[in-house]
């Protein structure tokens, strides 16, 4: 019991440092941000910062890991509603596909600032590639569960193409201050990508 208030304080501290770093990166770029600026904006001391993180790169990686873990947990909860082992490529044009795309755009909207930082590549190649890699791995894992799946290209190649187009579309949407609704973006993505995918992935 005594540890719980401390855990909550630690989470609040890390969240405050994360929010400060993200806002500063959006204002002036990752390379220009100093730890002193982060702690000043978070209204915390440098000693407190170093109790939690070695440097600003570790703080950024923690922020990205946190958002990716949250994405995966929500994604798993969503897909638990569907028996993907019985999904065929024809059902990609149905509710399952729409739910997943809605989830991705909703998650990006709800965490727009961190997504902007993450997807524009601030903080180095590791930060910019991490989320794309997670989408690739999840795509391969999900497609591997489909029964009697036949693909005209290796699943790894399909996953790279899928993640690349999706990340670019989400990045553009956020950078342009979400000029279209999530429903419209899902429809656009389905029109541009899904119909071609149906010809590539076939079940027998």
Show the 3-state SS of 109-129. Answer: HHCHHHHHHHHCCCCCHHHHH
Quote the DSSP letter at residue 194.
I
Neighbours of 158 (CB within 10 A): 19
* Together in a domain, 46 and 65: no
How many domains are there within the chain?
2
Question: Could you report the per-residue pLDDT of 166-188, keeping only the tens digit for each?
Answer: 888 999 999 999 999 999 999 88
| Neighbour-count burial of 123, counting CB atoms closer than 10 A to its CB (0-12 exposed, 13-18 middle, 19+ buried) | buried
Binned at pLDDT 50, 70 and 90, residue 90 comes out as very low
Question: Does residue 76 sit in the same domain as residue 49?
Answer: no
Shared domain for 31 and 88, answered yes or no, is no
User: Which token pair is 201?
Assistant: 């992935």
Identify the pLDDT of residue 202: 63
Please compute the mean of the pLDDT values over residues 184-195 and round it to a whole number. Answer: 84
Q: Is the pLDDT of residue 89 over 90?
A: no
State yes or no: pLDDT of 18 exceeds 90.
yes
The pLDDT tens digits of the residues spanning 138-158 come to 788 878 877 777 788 888 998
Q: Are 94 and 101 in contact (CB under 8 A)?
A: no
- Looking at the structure, tell me whether residues 41 and 74 fall in a common domain: no
- Whether residues 85 and 18 fall in one domain: no
């Amino acid at each position: 019991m005594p540890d719980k208030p401390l855990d909550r304080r630690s989470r609040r501290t890390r969240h405050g440092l994360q929010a400060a770093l993200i806002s500063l990166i959006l204002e002036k770029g990752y390379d220009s941000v100093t730890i002193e600026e982060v702690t000043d904006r978070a209204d915390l001391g440098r000693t407190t910062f170093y109790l939690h993180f070695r440097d600003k790169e570790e703080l950024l990686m923690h922020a990205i890991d946190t958002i990716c873990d949250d994405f995966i947990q929500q994604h798993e909860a969503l897909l638990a509603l569907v028996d993907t082992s019985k999904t065929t490529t024809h059902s990609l044009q149905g509710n399952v596909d729409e739910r997943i795309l809605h989830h991705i755009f909703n998650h990006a909207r709800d965490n727009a600032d961190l997504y902007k930082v993450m997807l524009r590549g601030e903080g180095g190649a590791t930060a910019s590639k991490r989320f794309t890699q997670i989408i690739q791995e999840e795509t391969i894992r999900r497609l591997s569960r489909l029964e009697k799946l036949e693909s005209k290209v290796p699943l790894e190649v399909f996953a790279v193409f899928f993640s690349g187009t999706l990340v670019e579309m989400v990045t553009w949407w956020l950078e342009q201050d979400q000029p279209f609704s999530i429903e419209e973006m899902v429809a656009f993505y389905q029109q541009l990508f899904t119909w071609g995918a149906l010809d590539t992935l076939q079940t027998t």
